[in-house]
C-alpha cells in the first residue's frame, strides 16, 4: 500500500542487510568509507569532512520531507555503522521519472551486498512509493557498476558524452533504465520486510549557504540577437504567454502549462526565486516590434555548479517556422557556454515530436539515447529522445562567432 514517505522512510530488511535513512550520527563512518580514492573515482565529489557529511545528511532529510529525494543508508547485519548509501532523486514531478545512484565502501565490493541492497530500493520505489521509471548513469569504464545494473534487469538506453566529471575523472556514462511494469512483472513478490514508516522530521535545518556569486543570479542579462531579445520573464508577459500556450498544438508535446494569466504570473515569480537560488534560469523570447514574450527558454542545473544542464523551450505557434526560435537559441546557448561556463547541455524531446527533434538536430545537437516511457502526458507514458550539445561542439561550430 502506498504511503506518504515524505514524513519518514521505512526501514527495509533483507536477508543480511538493513536499509534506513542516514542520521547525523552516521557522518563519521560515511566520511571514512566514501572518500577513499577507489570509491570517489566514480561518484560526484563527496563532502570533504565529517562535518560536510553532516550537512549532506541534513540536506537529504530536508529533501525527503519535501518529496524530492529518498536516501537509504546500507547497514550489513552485525554492523551498526553504514557501509554506503543509495539515493533516489526526482527528475520529474511526482517521481514519474527518477534517477538513482549508489556508493559502497570498497571493503564491501564483491561481497554481494549491493545485489542484495538494490532490489530492496527498487521494490520500495516501484511497489511502495509508486515511482514509474528509474534511471541510472554509470561511467563507461566502471565495469562493476554497469555489470550489476545489467544483472538487475536495467535496459541500456544510450551513451552520454562527457556527462560525468569530478576532481579525478571526466568521462562518458552509460544510461540505464528500469520501468515499474517490467520490474513488477519479473518480481511478483516483494524482496523485503518493511517496518511501518515512523514520522521523522529532519534532525537539523539544512545549511542554506548562498550559491557562489554570479551577476546572473542577481538579474538575468538582456541578450540581443538578430530580430529578437532574450530576457528575464516579467509579470507583464503572463497574459501573452497564457494565451499562446493555450493552443492545443503548442501543448501537444509539453507538460501542461499554467492555464491562466494569473497562474503564469505565479510561474514567473517561481522562476525568479529559482534564479536567485542558482538552479533554474528562465528567459522570455521577445521578437522585435513586441513588448511581451512569445516563448520561453529554460536552463535547469543537473549537477552543480551549473556545468551539466538540461534545457527546454516552448514557442507560440504563430512564430513556428519563422526562424525566431533558431535566432533566440543561438543567443541563449552562447550565453550558457561562454558566460555561465556550461560544459554539457541536455535536452529531452518526445520521440513523436518531429519538429522539436529536427530543430535540435539543426542546432548541432547529438542524439544520444531513446528513453522508454520517460514522459507522462495525457495520462500515458511516452518515449523521449535525449540530445546533447557539448561546449567543445559549440565552439567548433561557432569558431567565427555568432552574430548578435
Dihedral angle over CA of 120, 124, 126, 130, nearest 10: 180
pLDDT at 2: 55
Looking at the structure, tell me whether residues 30 and 177 fall in a common domain: yes
Q: Is residue 24 part of a domain?
A: yes
pLDDT at 275: 93
Looking at the structure, tell me whether residues 289 and 361 fall in a common domain: yes
pLDDT at 403: 42
Question: How far are the Cα atoms of 5, 63, 210, 266 from residue 67, in angstroms, in the given order?
Answer: 8, 6, 22, 21
- Among candidate residues 279, 276, 274, 349, the one with its CA nearest the CA of residue 308: 279
CB within 8 A of 270, min separation 6: which ones? Answer: none
Q: Is residue 123 part of a domain?
A: yes
Looking at the structure, tell me whether residues 380 and 239 fall in a common domain: yes
pLDDT at 154: 98
CB within 8 A of 323, min separation 6: which ones? Answer: none
Looking at the structure, tell me whether residues 36 and 169 fall in a common domain: yes
Looking at the structure, tell me whether residues 148 and 280 fall in a common domain: no
Q: Are 36 and 105 spatial neighbours (Cβ–Cβ below 8 Å)?
A: yes
Final residue before a domain boundary, out of 159, 194, 229:
194
Q: Is residue 252 part of a domain?
A: yes
- 10 Å CB burial of residue 15 (0-12, 13-18, 19+) is exposed
Q: Is residue 203 part of a domain?
A: no
Number of domains in the chain: 2
pLDDT at 178: 98
Looking at the structure, tell me whether residues 77 and 127 fall in a common domain: yes
Q: Is residue 210 part of a domain?
A: no
Q: Is residue 208 part of a domain?
A: no
CATH number for the domain harbouring residue 314: 3.40.630.30
Looking at the structure, tell me whether residues 189 and 82 fall in a common domain: yes
CB within 8 A of 57, min separation 6: which ones? Answer: 22, 23, 24, 26, 27, 30, 203
pLDDT at 369: 97
The one-digit pLDDT tens for each residue of the chain (404 residues) are: 456 889 999 999 999 999 999 999 999 999 999 999 999 999 999 999 999 999 999 999 999 999 999 999 999 999 999 999 999 999 887 778 999 999 999 999 999 999 999 999 999 999 988 999 999 999 999 999 999 999 999 999 999 999 998 888 899 999 999 999 999 999 998 876 766 677 888 898 887 777 677 888 899 999 999 999 999 999 999 999 999 999 999 999 999 999 999 999 999 999 999 999 889 999 999 999 999 999 999 999 998 888 999 999 999 999 999 999 999 999 999 999 999 999 999 999 999 999 999 999 999 999 999 999 999 998 999 999 999 999 999 999 887 454 43
Looking at the structure, tell me whether residues 173 and 266 fall in a common domain: no
- DSSP letter for 335, please: I
Parent domain of 299: 215-397
Looking at the structure, tell me whether residues 358 and 389 fall in a common domain: yes
Looking at the structure, tell me whether residues 113 and 243 fall in a common domain: no
Looking at the structure, tell me whether residues 180 and 220 fall in a common domain: no
Q: Is residue 402 part of a domain?
A: no
- DSSP letter for 80, please: S
CA angle 229, 233, 238 (to 5 degrees): 115
Looking at the structure, tell me whether residues 165 and 221 fall in a common domain: no
Q: Are 171 and 190 spatial neighbours (Cβ–Cβ below 8 Å)?
A: no
Amino acid at each position: 500500500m502506498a504511503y506518504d514517505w515524505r514524513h519518514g522512510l521505512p526501514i527495509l530488511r533483507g536477508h543480511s542487510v538493513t536499509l534506513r535513512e542516514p542520521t547525523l550520527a552516521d557522518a563519521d563512518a560515511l566520511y571514512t568509507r566514501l572518500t577513499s580514492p577507489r570509491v570517489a573515482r566514480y561518484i560526484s565529489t563527496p563532502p570533504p569532512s565529517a562535518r560536510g557529511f553532516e550537512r549532506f545528511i541534513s540536506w537529504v532529510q530536508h529533501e525527503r520531507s519535501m518529496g524530492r529525494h529518498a536516501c537509504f543508508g546500507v547497514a550489513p547485519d552485525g554492523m551498526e555503522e553504514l557501509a554506503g548509501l543509495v539515493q533516489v532523486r526526482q527528475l520529474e514531478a511526482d517521481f514519474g521519472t527518477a534517477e538513482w545512484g549508489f556508493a559502497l565502501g570498497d571493503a564491501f565490493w564483491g561481497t554481494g551486498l549491493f545485489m542484495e541492497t538494490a532490489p530492496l530500493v527498487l521494490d520500495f520505489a516501484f511497489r511502495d512509493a509508486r515511482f514509474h521509471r528509474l534511471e541510472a548513469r554509470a561511467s563507461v569504464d566502471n565495469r562493476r557498476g554497469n555489470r550489476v545494473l545489467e544483472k538487475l534487469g536495467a535496459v541500456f538506453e544510450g551513451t552520454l558524452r562527457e556527462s560525468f566529471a569530478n576532481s579525478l575523472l571526466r568521462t562518458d556514462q552509460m544510461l540505464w533504465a528500469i520501468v515499474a511494469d517490467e520490474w513488477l512483472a519479473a518480481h511478483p513478490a516483494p524482496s523485503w520486510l518493511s517496518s511501518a514508516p515512523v514520522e521523522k522530521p529532519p534532525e537539523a535545518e539544512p545549511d542554506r549557504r548562498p550559491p557562489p556569486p554570479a551577476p546572473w543570479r542577481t538579474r538575468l542579462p538582456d541578450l540581443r540577437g538578430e530580430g529578437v531579445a532574450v530576457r528575464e520573464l516579467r509579470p507583464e508577459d503572463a497574459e501573452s504567454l497564457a494565451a499562446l500556450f493555450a493552443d492545443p498544438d503548442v501543448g501537444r508535446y509539453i507538460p501542461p502549462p499554467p492555464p491562466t494569466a494569473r497562474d503564469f504570473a505565479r510561474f514567473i515569480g517561481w522562476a525568479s526565486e529559482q534564479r536567485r537560488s542558482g538552479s533554474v534560469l528562465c528567459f522570455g523570447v521577445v521578437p522585435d516590434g513586441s513588448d511581451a514574450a512569445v516563448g520561453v527558454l529554460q536552463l535547469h542545473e543537473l549537477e552543480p555548479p551549473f556545468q551539466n544542464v538540461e534545457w527546454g523551450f516552448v514557442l507560440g505557434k504563430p512564430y513556428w517556422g519563422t526562424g525566431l526560435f533558431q535566432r533566440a537559441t543561438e543567443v541563449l546557448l552562447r550565453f550558457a557556454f561562454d558566460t555561465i561556463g556550461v560544459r554539457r547541455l541536455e535536452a529531452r524531446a518526445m520521440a513523436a515530436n518531429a519538429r522539436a527533434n529536427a530543430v535540435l538536430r539543426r542546432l548541432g545537437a547529438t542524439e544520444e539515447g531513446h528513453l522508454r516511457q520517460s514522459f507522462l502526458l495525457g495520462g500515458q507514458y511516452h518515449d523521449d529522445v535525449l540530445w546533447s550539445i557539448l561546449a567543445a561542439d559549440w565552439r567548433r561550430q561557432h569558431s567565427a562567432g555568432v552574430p548578435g
